[in-house]
């Protein structure tokens, strides 16, 4: 059996790294230097796709074949408003006040670049997230943990914020930052089987 190409993760996200390790992968981590604030698009799905591709493209330029570069970006959308990582505690609190008792969509853009063939694939996964109603004290306590500052939408499904998520419609791992089923499909489209990495 042919040795699978190295997988290069164009992200500093520990959550994404954990997901990949969970399925038996040990990627080379190489965060991109893309300035996300310089990329704009009114459509959140187009925006995460563009950001994921920008990150993967920048990192791909640093490597020679063989290899597959994975770039991702996540945003939370609620009522047509897009939320990324909150810049500070007051912003996180304001986001949680908006999320409380409502339903939103977590969009994650996924881009794969095969360094050998040059082929690029880009897809977006969307998961519906239903939140419990939070009290002011609960929101303050959660913001005090600093966890919301690290996450799009100011919550982490895999962390303390998981207690506020009542249910999901769609891929659970997508809410953490990477849709594993979608990654499997995209790798297969490039001709690779993820079980080769085990």
Range 46-58 burial, b when 16+ CB lie within 10 A, else e: ebbbbbbbbbbbb
In the annotation, is 88 catalytic?
no
Catalytic residue, from 73, 88, 114, 193: name it.
Answer: 73
DSSP string, the chain: -PPPPPEEE----HHHHHHHHHTT--PEE------GGG---SSHHHHHHHHHHHHHHHHHTT--SS-EEEEEEEEEEETTEEE-S-SSHHHHHHHHHHHTT-EEEEEEEEEEEETTT--EEEEEEEEEEEEPPPPHHHHHHHHHTSGGGGSGGG--TTSGGGGGEEEEES-HHHHHT--HHHHHHHHHHHT--GGGG-
* Enzyme catalytic residues: 73
């Amino acid at each position: 059996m042919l040795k699978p190409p190295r997988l290069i993760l164009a992200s500093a996200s520990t959550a994404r790294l954990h997901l990949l390790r969970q399925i038996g992968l040990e990627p080379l981590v190489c965060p991109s230097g893309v300035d996300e604030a310089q990329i704009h698009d009114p459509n959140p799905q187009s925006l995460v796709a563009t950001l994921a591709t920008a990150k993967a493209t920048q990192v791909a330029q640093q490597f020679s074949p063989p290899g597959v570069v994975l770039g991702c970006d996540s945003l939370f959308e609620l009522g047509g408003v897009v939320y990324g990582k909150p810049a500070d505690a007051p912003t996180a609190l304001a986001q949680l006040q908006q999320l409380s008792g409502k339903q939103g969509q977590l969009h994650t853009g996924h881009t794969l670049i095969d360094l050998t063939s040059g082929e690029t694939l880009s897809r977006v996964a969307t998961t519906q997230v239903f939140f419990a109603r939070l009290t002011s004290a609960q929101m303050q306590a959660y913001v005090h943990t600093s966890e919301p500052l690290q996450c799009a939408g100011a919550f982490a499904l895999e962390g303390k914020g998981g207690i506020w998520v009542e249910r999901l419609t769609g891929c659970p791992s997508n809410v953490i930052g990477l849709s594993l089923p979608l990654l499997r499909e995209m790798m297969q489209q490039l001709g690779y089987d993820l079980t080769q990495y085990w």
